[in-house]
Chain A
């Protein structure tokens, strides 16, 4: 158990809908990262937040957005969903003392299925 929690574990929805994925980081960690894992793209970095502010951005679509709240939990919002958005979404957290060398601890993921 990494100490990172993600809810829900599974999510099934229809095209065009909007969903919210939730992540609670390890106690004391200030950085939260979101990754998408799909069969064709592999593991792709989406976005990082540090203590409530956006720190780094990766291959995140404009239909996707995220935020980190004062209690440090984070939410990833996916809108106008398409079939291709079906994937496993991971949240990871790290202490935030050094982004380049900190270990990122991964949650169990949320499996999103878009029908």
Chain B
């Protein structure tokens, strides 16, 4: 079954530093992958998505992610983190089954940004 793993539960970075959040997927074919962000008390907002084509995907808020089939990864990156980026980040993959499609989410990575 299609699934994603986010190895890091918490990450702390200094404001202005670069960021990389890890996501590994499990699926034989090309997966449909998403990154969402959840700010405290808010719903989930889509940052970017990958279906096919260019393996480097640009998203909102200065985020990008790179699909690497050889490593089964879809890591999220940002060159310079702002304090407002502190939030919970979720990687997700479309789960395809007899009963249709849905998103399978990772456990999430909580990002703390220090001054």
Contacts and interface: CB of A to CB of B under 8 A. Distances in A.
Interface string B1-26: 00000000000000000000000000
B108 A42 contact: yes
A11 B109 CA distance: 27
Contacts of B106: 42
A99 B44 contact: no
B96 interface: yes
B32 interface: yes
Contacts of A92: 44
B112 interface: no
A56 B46 contact: no
Interface stretch (A14-22, A72-80, A101-109): A101-109
Count class of interface residues, chain B: 20 to 34
Contacts of B101: 48, 56, 99-100
Contacts of B46: 103-105
The A contact surface, by secondary structure, is strand
Interface in B59-115: 90, 94-97, 99-108
B107 A42 contact: yes
Given A42-B108, A43-B105, A57 B43 contact: no
A6 to B, nearest CB: 8
B96 A100 contact: yes
A52 to B, nearest CB: 15
A90 B105 contact: no
A8 interface: no
Interface of B: 32, 34, 36, 41-46, 49, 51, 90, 94-97, 99-108
Interface of A: 2, 4, 33, 35, 42-45, 48, 55-58, 90, 92, 99-101, 103-109
